Amino acid sequence: MQGLEELAKAFADLGELRALLARTGLSESDFMTLLAIDRAGSAHAGAVAKTLGYSPAKASRCLGRLVSFGLVSETVDKADRRKLDFRLANNGFDVVFDLERTFGRERMVSAFGLFLRLQHESREAATALDVPVTPTEWGFVATLAAADRPLRVGELSQACCCQQPKTSMALRALVRKGLVSSESGLSPNSGSDCRAHRFSLNACTSSLSLLHQS
């Protein structure tokens, strides 16, 4: 279970990073795009999409926002004038540097690696379970699996460094998809407060081989 525990801890680190990003006005998706370009030096939209597991449309939206924020510059590729080449602008380097200094470079590298892992594993889980699973939802699934016991919303929020409303929303979605259940039988479409409920993985979810890889 060591791999699960490491994944759950890294997901909590990612939650702390989201809190820092909220102060900059950048979304997690935008910042990961910024990091992908920083690590590549320069990249086309297609390369960014492939690296991060984004759709071409999502990659283009993120790049467009970063260009509009003045964090990324775009130039026509000299080898293929049909493509745009994206690089970090000076302001983009400043944002990455400031966040690495606050968050820690090693933790930032780990968070980036986890983001890529969540993107990949959530797609595999969606295929195996035949239901859509977002990377964030998969992070909650991994945290529940690592805990190996039912957790309340508050406990899960604390473990994931996530605000309770977002945790509640993710749990409701997972209950609705049949991946998670509550001990007291919370109805997926119920508008009742779910904070008092304890949540655990359903048998089909806990048996996934993804959750038993080292």
Percent above pLDDT 90 for the chain: 31
The reply to whether 1 falls in a domain is no
Give yes or no: residues 112 and 196 share one domain. no
Whether 209 has a pLDDT exceeding 60, the answer reads yes
**Is 150 exposed, middle or buried, given 0-12, 13-18 or 19+ CB atoms closer than 10 A?**
middle
If asked whether residues 22 and 106 sit together in one domain, one would say: yes
With respect to residue 18, please indicate whether it lies within any of the assigned structural domains: yes
Task: Write out the residue range of the structural domain in which residue 187 sits.
Answer: 122-212
pLDDT of residue 2: 47
pTM over 0.85: no
Q: Do 126 and 107 belong together in one domain?
A: no
Inter-residue contact 202 to 178 (CB < 8 Å): yes
- Nearest one of 174, 113, 109, 110 to 140, comparing CA atoms: 174
- 86-95 pLDDT, tens per residue? 999 999 999 9
Residue 93 belongs to some domain of the structure: yes
Query: Crossing angle, helix 105-129 and helix 2-24, to 10 degrees?
Result: 110
Q: How many structural domains are present in the chain?
A: 2
Q: Count the neighbouring beta carbons within 10 Å of the beta carbon of residue 199.
A: 23
Q: What confidence tens digit (pLDDT) does each residue in 50-61 have?
A: 999 899 999 999
Give every CB contact of residue 9 below 8 A, 6+ residues apart in sequence. Answer: none
In a domain, 164, yes or no: yes
